[in-house]
Amino acid sequence: MPMNQPSTRREADMKLDSQVLNLEMAMKDGILGGGCGVISTGFASEKLDLKIMIEELESIDVPSVFICPISLEPMQDPVTLCTGQTYERSNIFKWFSLGRYTCPTTMQELWDDSLTPNKTLQQLIFSWFSQTYLSMKKRSEDVQGRVKEILENLKKVKGQARVRALKELRQVVQAHGASKKTVVENGGVSLISSLLGPFTTHAVGSEVIGVIVNLNLDSNSKSDLLQPTKISLMVDILNEGSIETKINCTRLIRMLMEGNDVASESVASLSLLVGLLRLVKDKKHQNGVLAGLSLLKVICSHESVRNSLVNVGAVPQLVELMPGLNNECLELVLYILELLSNIPQGRLALKDCPNTIPNVVKLLMKASENCTQLAVSILWAICKFAPEECASLALDAGVAAKLLLVIQSGCNPVLKQRSAELLKLCSLNYTVTVFISKCNLTRTIQ
pLDDT tens across 31-46, in order?
444 433 444 444 444 5
d(CA 345, CA 351): 10
Q: Based on the fold, state whether residues 13 and 131 are members of the same structural domain.
A: yes
327-340 average pLDDT score: 94
Band of the pLDDT at 17, cuts 50, 70, 90? very low
Domain co-membership, 16 together with 132: yes
Residue 429 lies in a domain: yes
Please tell me the distance from the alpha carbon of residue 395 to that of residue 379, in angstroms, as a whole number: 11
Residue 78 pLDDT exceeds 50: yes
Residues with Cβ within 8 Å of residue 412, at least 6 apart in sequence: 369, 373
Claim to verify: residue 125 and residue 24 sit in the same structural domain: yes
* Minimum mean pLDDT range among 1-10, 90-99, 255-264, 417-426: 1-10
Residue 389 has a pLDDT of: 85
Q: What is the DSSP string of 384-443?
A: HHSHHHHHHHHHHTTHHHHHHHHHHSS--HHHHHHHHHHHHHHHTTS-HHHHHHHTT-HH
Mean pLDDT of 294-312: 88
Instruction: Tell me how far the alpha carbon of residue 182 is from its chain's centroid.
Output: 24
> For residue 431, what pLDDT is reported?
59
Looking at residue 339, what is its pLDDT? 94
Pair (50, 133) in one structural domain: yes
CATH number for the domain spanning 320: value is: 1.25.10.10
Residue where a domain stops, chosen among 88, 113, 137 = 137
Q: What's the start-to-end Cα distance of the chain, in Å?
A: 71
Q: Which domain holds residue 337?
A: 242-356
Lowest mean pLDDT among 184-188, 236-240, 255-259: 255-259
Cα distance between residue 256 and residue 213, in whole Å: 10
CB atoms within 10 A of CB 425: 17
pLDDT above 90: residue 275: yes
Do both 268 and 307 map to the same domain? yes
Asked, for residue 87, whether it belongs to a domain, the answer is yes
What contacts 434, CB < 8 A, 6 or more positions away? none
CATH number of the domain that residue 26 is part of: 3.30.40.10
pLDDT at 382 over 50: yes
Q: Are residues 291 and 398 part of one domain?
A: no
pLDDT at 22 over 90: no
- When the pLDDT of each residue in the chain is averaged and rounded to a whole number, the result is 82
With respect to residue 388, please indicate whether it lies within any of the assigned structural domains: yes
The predicted model gives 153-166 an average pLDDT of 91
Instruction: Give residue 205's pLDDT band: very low, low, confident or very high (50, 70, 90).
Output: very high
The pLDDT score that the predictor gives to residue 441 is 52
Query: pLDDT at position 25, please?
Result: 47
| 122, 16: one domain | yes
Determine the pLDDT at residue 141: 72
Total of domains in the chain:
3
Q: What is the pLDDT of residue 135?
A: 78
Question: pTM value?
Answer: 0.68
Same-domain check for residues 415 and 342: no
Q: Is the pLDDT of residue 121 over 60?
A: yes
Residue 283 lies in a domain: yes
Lowest mean pLDDT among 262-266, 268-272, 385-389, 408-412: 262-266
pLDDT at res. 301? 80
- pLDDT value for 19: 40
- Residue 6: the pLDDT is 36
**Domain end position, chosen among 108, 137, 166:** 137
Q: What is the mean pLDDT of residues 199-211?
A: 93
Angle at 22 between CA 18 and CA 24, to 5 degrees: 115
In a domain, residue 49? The reply is yes
